[in-house]
Amino acid sequence: GKVDYRTEQKFAEHMKEKSEASSEFAKKKSLLEQRQYLPIFAVRQQLLSIIRDNNIVIVVGETGSGKTTQLTQYLHEDGYTGYGMVGCTQPRRVAAMSVAKRVSEEIGSNLGEEVGYAIRFEDCTSEKTVVKYMTDGILLRESLRESDLDHYSAVIMDEAHERSLNTDVLFGLLREIVARRADLKLIVTSATMDSDKFASFFGNVPIFHIPGRTFPVDILFSKTPQEDYVEAAVKQALQIHLSGLVGDILIFMPGQEDIEVRHQGLIYQIVERLGELENAPVLAVLPIYSQLPSDLQAKIFQKAPDGVRKCIVATNIAETSLTVDGIMFVIDSGYCKLKVFNPRIGMDALQVYPISQANANQRSGRAGRTGPGQCYRLYTQSAYKNEMLTTTIPEIQRTNLANVVLLLKSLGVQDLLLFHFMDPPPEDNMLNSMYQLWILGALDNTGALTPTGRLMVEFPLDPALSKMLIVSCDMGCSADILIIVSMLSVPAIFYRPKVQYQASDQVREKFAVPESDHLTFLNVYLQWKNNNYSSIWCNDHFIHTKAMRKVREVRAQLKDIMVQQRMNLVSCGSDWDVIRKCICAAYFHQAAKLKVGAQDQTLSVYIHLICILYVCGVLQEYMQCVTAVDGEWLAELGPMFYSIKHAGRSRQVFHLHTHTHTHTHNNKGVAQFRCYSFTPCP
Ligand code: ADP
Ligand code: MG
């Protein structure tokens, strides 16, 4: 069979030819035609007039009706950018980047000029920028510097139905800002109909419905529960593909692992099975998830060559944030990944959960945008009716709120339990997060912000990471910790090419500092620096050059903040024990003790040995980024948690231990950790 995995080369060549052939004029014209075909265009005048008459408007419209790409442009065309920027917030970074790119093309300017975007550690705007897409987190931080958001004439809070943590906090803040600023327009958009809640929260403001243009979608439930949704999705995709019916396929998977990593991933399996068939038609399988490099992300929007079907494999990013035209078939695994605070371990954990009915309906809706479609749900009708929640629980009610608490405190909100939330977080969560900030020294005994806390707010980082930077100055290793924190802020440093697993693992082993994954990161960065930040060196060592460049940028940005805050930058040279101690000072509350073979009260975790990648804050199915610490440090730095007990002659101290040298065949060492309770000493 002819299968082009992602058809990268051919696809790219084809697209290039095509766009070169069409003249610049024709391209512009067709973009304009596309804009005018969107459902929102039919109601442009009414929409602008209701916005003129009201400071706050809720706009409801189906995904793909043009809210995200058009509203900003309409406001720009109507003169709002004459006295401030039009800002548009997105819960997802990918959406902010991708939509800004699209809109800059529609307006006919370069990205970063009239139309730009800002996400954490990446500001692609300039003095010229009048339309700014950004993550909701960015706007939240801007409100710290400029409490009335004076740079903006209008703010669009997009994807409000997602109810992301930052959006929910912004709701409360913006409600007050609009009350203070008569010249600010606030538009809240939602893809779902449950907008009454938004309207009443903002004081019975008008709701504007964009008439939809949707086609019927056949919903097909699985007759029996599926044991393996990846396997089921592969089968379903192949069945559709070989049926001869025309139309692109969109598959929803919970996470990146299912798409590209687990059992080689869904994409690999589709391609492999198709390859076994003779004369199978060509299928272009394209992934989309948040960590995918942006040049590959852009591919999902390109039209496939004639006779080639597109099959997009997405996380819930494609549910409402990004719209791809031409989808006729949707395959829904029924799962998504959610960040949920786990009180037992005191951390957020990113885990796979069943989706809600609202998610399911959004997903199936993707099949009916350009014509009648079909949605295959890989779960039973009874599971849909009886097991799924109607809507997903808002993030604010299920995650760690430490950053939110810090932010609100520094905005002068005294009593957080009185802050006007649309759906207040459980009091326990709030108190738990305040407790975490207290143990980090950010809040004092009365719950007020301490100088350390005030300094922590300056950094766009998790509280523990900012704390680490702050204590490193006194401990004389701030230059080193700065590098480590920067390395932790970038997702993937190492790569393992499929054909060279062994070689890449061997090279990686050379960087390993046995007692600490953090020090391993430092080691990588320092060696890269010694090699003049060379990309050849990166390639030779199976390290992503782009990621390392990003680390360098992040480092520069964090360094600027440190300089502004008069924090001194010193390196501890080769005395790396100080660095481990500094890490301990910020993460003592996440210590665990390795206890091989123990059964009671133990948390079974996988230490991911090779991919020492992510930040300590998120415990996935395995512990990542581990550093061995001295038990006595725990008692010294986290006295509210640990004390040294004398039992007989031997001193009992808590001890965390890394195990970086127990390779098993699947590169995961299975170890048992005892998680010490997170209750303070009386
Ligand atoms: P909504 O926000 O109402 O869901 P959007 O404004 O995002 O709608 O989408 C409107 C149209 O713009 C869709 O048809 C979509 O395919 C197109 N579009 C959005 N982003 C891009 C992009 N990066 N490349 C190509 N087309 C895009
Ligand atoms: Mg949108």
Ion ligand 2 neighbours, Cβ < 5 Å: 67-68
pLDDT band at 29, cuts 50/70/90?
low
* Substitution candidate for ligand 1 out of 43, 62, 65, 68 with most atoms within 8 A of CB: 68
d(CA 335, CA 465): 31
- Average of per-residue pLDDT across 91-95: 92
Each as own residue / partner, the long-range contacts of residues 139-142 (CB below 8 Å, 24 or more positions apart, any chain) are 139/87, 139/89, 139/166, 139/170, 140/166, 140/169, 140/170, 140/173, 140/407, 141/407, 141/460
Strands 335-342, 347-354: pairing is: antiparallel
Report d(CA 516, CA 657) in Å as an integer: 9
CA distance 75 to 312: 33
> Average pLDDT in the 249-266 region?
84
183-187, 390-394, 674-678: segment of lowest average pLDDT: 674-678
Identify whether the C-beta of residue 475 lies closer than 8 Å to the C-beta of residue 455. no
Give me the helix-helix angle, 136-145 and 165-180, nearest 10°.
Answer: 40
Q: Which of 120-129, 197-206, 663-672 has the lowest mean pLDDT?
A: 663-672
**Can you say how many angstroms the Cα of residue 311 is from the centroid of all Cα atoms in its chain?**
23
Higher pLDDT, 675 or 70: 70
pLDDT of residue 344: 57
pLDDT at 663: 23
The atom of ligand 1 lying closest to the CA of 369 is 14
Residue 12 in this model has a pLDDT that exceeds 70: no
* pLDDT value, residue 625: 74
- The least confident of 253-267, 301-315, 403-417 is 253-267
Three-state DSSP at 51 gives helix
Give the Cβ contact number of residue 195 at 10 Å: 20
Q: Which long-range contacts (C-beta less than 8 Å, at least 24 apart) are formed by 529-537? A: none
Could you read off the pLDDT of 180-197 as tens digits, one per residue? 999 999 999 998 777 899
Q: Which residues line ligand 1 (CB under 6 A)?
A: 38, 61, 63-70, 98-99, 101-102, 301, 323, 325
Q: How confident is the model at residue 618 (pLDDT cuts 50, 70, 90)?
A: very low
pLDDT tens digit string along 444-495? 988 899 999 999 999 999 999 999 999 999 999 999 999 999 999 887 788 8
Please report the pLDDT score of residue 279 as a whole number: 84
How far is the centre of ligand 2, averaged over its atoms, from the C-alpha of 218 (Å)? Answer: 24
Pocket test for ligand 1, best of 98, 102, 104, 195 (most atoms within 8 A of CB): 102
Residue 155 pLDDT > 50, yes or no?
yes
Closest Cα partner for 141 from 161, 166, 174? 166
Asked if 593 and 606 count as a contact pair (C-beta separation under 8 A), the reply is no
Atom of ligand 1 nearest to the CA of 61: 3
What is the pTM for the complete model shown? Answer: 0.85
DSSP output for 254-308: SSHIIIIIGGGHHHHHHHHHHHHSTTPPPEEEEEE-TTS-HHHHGGGGSPPPTT-
Distance of CA 204 to the CA centre of its chain: 32
Phi, psi (5° rounding) for residue 281? -65, 160
| Cα–Cα dist 488/468, whole Å | 12
pLDDT at 501: 76
ipTM: 0.98
Return all residues near 563 (Cβ < 8 A) that are at least 6 apart: 569
Cα distances (angstroms) measured from residue 48 to each of 76, 89, 190, 212: 11, 19, 17, 18
* Helix or strand holding residue 341 (H, E): strand 335-342
CA distances from 650 to 298, 620, 630, 644 (A): 61, 35, 15, 11
- Ligand 2 center to 95 CA (angstroms): 8
Strand runs labelled E in 550-631: 592-594, 602-608, 622-623
pLDDT at residue 343 tops 80: no
What percent of the chain clears pLDDT 90, i.e. is strictly above it? 60
User: Does residue 16 have a pLDDT over 70?
Assistant: no
Mean pLDDT over the full length of the chain: 84
pLDDT value at residue 558: 97
- Substitution site in 323, 325, 362, 366 for ligand 1 pocket (most atoms within 8 Å of beta carbon): 323
Taking only the tens place, the pLDDT of each residue in 515-534 is 788 999 999 999 999 999 99
CA-closest residue to ligand 1 atom 13: 64
pLDDT tens track for 58-67: 999 999 999 9
Torsion of the alpha carbons at 120, 125, 131 and 137, rounded to the nearest 10: 10
The set of residues, in sequence order, having a beta carbon less than 8 Å from that of 198 and lying 6+ positions away, is: 58, 160, 188, 190, 207, 422
Whether the per-residue pLDDT at 681 is higher than 50: the answer is no
